[in-house]
Amino acid sequence: MSAHINLYCYCHVTIFASQSCSSRPKDGRGGSLLSERSMNRIVLTAVLVALGRADNASATEEYPPLALLSRPGSSAIYSHGPHSIDAGNWTNRIDFCPPGNYVSAVRLVYEPYRGSGDDTGVNGIQMQCSSPEGVNSSVLQSAVGPFGLRWTEWATCPRGDFIFQYQLKSEGTEPGRDLVAMTNILAGCRHPRSTAIGVTGTVEPILPSPLSTWGDHQSLARCERDQLVVGLQTRIVPDLGGGYDDMGMSDLRLMCD
């Protein structure tokens, strides 16, 4: 399995390899001021585009080999789009519900808004497994980013219903912005014995403002008609240290069975 990290350096060393990275503190999320950092980011983005670093194509290629990680009979779904960010490492840890149990609720761990600091937003996710009778069992988590401090409330499907589809919400690599990558998840629930595709409820953890306003919904990913979500795997950007843009959790893959 190949691990991959994109480092978004604020100084020209990434581009020209002729200067040292500054250790000055990172500034806030505002994109209105064309600071030195913003100009550097614009130049870096232009160089990445020129080098053909298409985010979506690269992200797809970075998935670990499923045969080594999946539970027999399960399949993976993922939500990508124009705002997906190819950054961070896919963890080897895929958490699964006990056999016969499915995911019924979701919550996020996040770093509160930093104001003038380097934001990371969402750093991790937990999913609650439940039996078809609605009895809770294990909690799935996979890997979590280093800056998560607070948990949202659980966003829960109607009793006896389970998650079968989701859309990731995330930010793109907008020039001049302090990036946070994944910003939320919008998931759909249905009854396990229903043969209809219709959604019986949606769940979306509630984040405080301004985190709640960041990002855009990516493509809809849905389990096969006879499957529900039973597992998860996260992609995390580790603490990159001073001078780099930290992002917390960057991507999510769900497992269906």
> Given candidates 118, 171, 204, 251, which one binds Ca ion under the rule CB under 5 A?
118
Site string for Ca ion, 169-208 (x = CB under 5 A): ---------x------------------------------
Query: Between residues 178 and 251, which has the closer beta carbon with respect to Ca ion?
Result: 178
Query: Between residues 245 and 257, which has the closer beta carbon with respect to Ca ion?
Result: 245
> Given candidates 245, 250, 252, 257, which one binds Ca ion under the rule CB under 5 A?
245
Query: Between residues 64 and 148, which has the closer beta carbon with respect to Ca ion?
Result: 148
Q: Determine if 111 is a binding residue for Ca ion (CB under 5 A).
A: no
At its nearest, how many Å lie between Ca ion and the CB of residue 137? 35
Region from 85-93, 117-125, 195-203, 228-236 binding Ca ion, contact rule CB under 5 A: 117-125
Contacts of 58 (CB under 8 A, 6+ apart): 4, 86
Please count the other Cβ atoms lying within 10 Å of the Cβ belonging to residue 177: 17
Query: Between residues 64 and 215, which has the closer beta carbon with respect to Ca ion?
Result: 215
At its nearest, how many Å lie between Ca ion and the CB of residue 110? 13
| CA-to-CA separations, 77 to 13, 62, 74, 119, 232, in angstroms, rounded | 37, 14, 10, 28, 10
Residues constituting the chain: 257
Q: Determine if 55 is a binding residue for Ca ion (CB under 5 A).
A: no
Query: Between residues 119 and 161, which has the closer beta carbon with respect to Ca ion?
Result: 119
Residues that bind Ca ion (CB under 5 A): 118-119, 178, 245-246
